[in-house]
Amino acid sequence: MLQRLFLFLHLLRSLIDYPLRQLFRWRRKGLQIINEDKASLYNHLAEPSRSQAEAAASRLREAYHLEPLYSTSTRDNYQENLYYLAMLESAFSTVSPQFPEKLNAADIGPSHWFYVQALYAALKWWRCPAEREVTLTGFERDAYRIYSDLYSRYDHALAHIGRLQGVTYIPVAFKVQPASYHVVTQFFPFIFLSDHLKWGLPPAMFNPSALLVAAWLSIKPGGLLIIVNQGKAEHTAQLEHLRRANIPVQAAFVFNSPLYHYNLPRFITIACREHG
């Protein structure tokens, strides 16, 4: 009962403050990420997880050229990027895609894109020691949400993008762009209306199946759709959306790694478009 009341309040609030955010489009210059020391990143873990995490972190740092991120990030953000990178590496290794030399990718719903460095590094360096040319675009429907430091989600996203070449954050909802991308990612799309409302989006904008189909149609022949969900219930509902949309699932599995801790397990789903 109390939960329903809270959802109703979220709903009412979203009808007022989402349009206001879109009207005022809050942006502020000057946001800088303060680097933190990365010594003993996994000391809080017990063995053997600690050694596994340290070995994975040092391998990923070298293989994916993470030095710039290592020296300009908070500890927590660096660890979370390592986790996202490990998820993407695991997804790619599962289906072994043939990426072109120039790769075009889109991420739907990046929020403040705290993981953009991992996503970019995975696309650029996965099985490509010579470095791939990557164009990466993030489409965010609610880019002007204001955080407690009075910078917007957009400001935070740009700070996380930093000096990455070919990366753009677009503050609009994703729309279908037929056969445009080699890779489309969706990290934690809203599958349940309650999450959509809690994040402050108006109810009329909730349409996970339409967004899924838009993502799928935007993938080039031979390209990949990678979706990450949290918790078994969300993953199961996601699979049902894919089934109803006739999107063939190539792989679906739970991803475990000591690199970062979440309360709910992460599930990866991969769909590959047929070659034309």
Ligand X SMILES: C[S@@+](CC[C@H](N)C(=O)[O-])C[C@H]1O[C@@H](n2cnc3c(N)ncnc32)[C@H](O)[C@@H]1O
Which residues contact ligand X (rule: CB under 6 A)?
108-111, 139-142, 173-174, 187-188, 190, 199, 201, 211
Nearer to ligand X, 72 or 234 (CB): 234
CB of 130 to ligand X, least distance (A): 29
CB of 47 to ligand X, least distance (A): 29
Q: At 271, give phi and psi (nearest 5°).
A: -125, 135
Q: Please, what sign has the CA dihedral across residues 82, 84, 90, 96? A: negative
Q: How far is the CB of 48 from ligand X (least distance, A)?
A: 28
Neighbouring C-beta atoms of residue 254, cutoff 10 Å: 10
CB of 100 to ligand X, least distance (A): 25
72 or 229: CB nearest ligand X: 229
CB closer to ligand X out of 72 and 185: 185
Nearer to ligand X, 50 or 141 (CB): 141
Shortest separation between residue 113's beta carbon and ligand X, angstroms? 8
How far apart are CB 84 and ligand X at their closest, in Å? 8
- The smaller minimum CB distance to ligand X, of residues 60 and 118, is found at 118
CB count within 10 Å of CB 168 equals 12
DSSP 223: E
Half-sphere exposure at residue 30, Cβ-oriented, CA atoms within 13 angstroms? 4
How many Å apart are CA 200 and CA 119, to the nearest integer? 25
Which residue, 18 or 92, has its beta carbon nearer to ligand X? 18
Kindly give the interhelix angle for 116-125 and 75-95, rounded to the nearest 10 degrees: 40
User: Nearest to ligand X by Cβ — which residue?
Assistant: 109
Distance separating alpha carbons of residues 247 and 266, to the nearest angstrom? 21
Q: How far is residue 2's CA from residue 20's CA, in Å, rounded to a whole number?
A: 27
Cα 81 vs. chain centroid, distance in angstroms?
10
Local structure of 251: helix, strand or coil: strand
